[in-house]
Structure 1
Amino acid sequence: MPLNLNPNFSEPGKRYFHTFSPGDDFYEALIETHHGLSDEQSAMVNAKLVLLLANHIGDISVLRQAMELARVSV
């Protein structure tokens, strides 16, 4: 399965009127997750989040594609 690079955010039962709205909801939740944390705590939350989501995805080839893509512009 290839890495999905198209907008893919949704929330069951919630209607959106603009395609960017679900992504905005995710971004707001992500920022709120880091609210009040030190830089070290924020980095730890990011590391835990990456591992939790990687476990949820489970497909090593998709995870490798994501890691390669994430490194390209760094």
Structure 2
Amino acid sequence: MSLNTQSNFHNPEKHTFYDYSPGDDFYAMLIEAHRDLSDEQSALLNARLVLLLANHIGDLRILEEAITAAKADL
């Protein structure tokens, strides 16, 4: 298995007309989660979210690919 960089957001309980709609929904949830947080709290939220999602993925090869892709062009 390799890192999936194609849009992969979905909500099995909700039918959407456009493929990008669930991604937009996630972005809105993420922005809302940061509302009214200080910069320090926002950074902590991001760190916690990364660790929770990394634990959910679990495959170190995939996580290494994700880190490499995220660092590209920085």
Shorter-chain TM band: over 0.9
> Which structure is richer in relative contact order (CA contacts within 8 A, separation 6 or more)?
1
**How many aligned residue pairs are there?**
74
User: Which residue pairs with 1:44 in the alignment?
Assistant: 44
- Give the deviation of 1:13 after TM superposition: 1.3
Which amino acid letter does the alignment assign opposite residue 16 of structure 1?
A: T
Distance 2:47 2:61 in 1: 20
Gaps of 5+ in 1: none
* Aligned residues: CA RMSD: 0.5
TM-score (norm 1): 0.97
Distance 1:46 1:15 in 2: 28
Q: State the TM-score, normalized to the length of structure 2.
A: 0.97
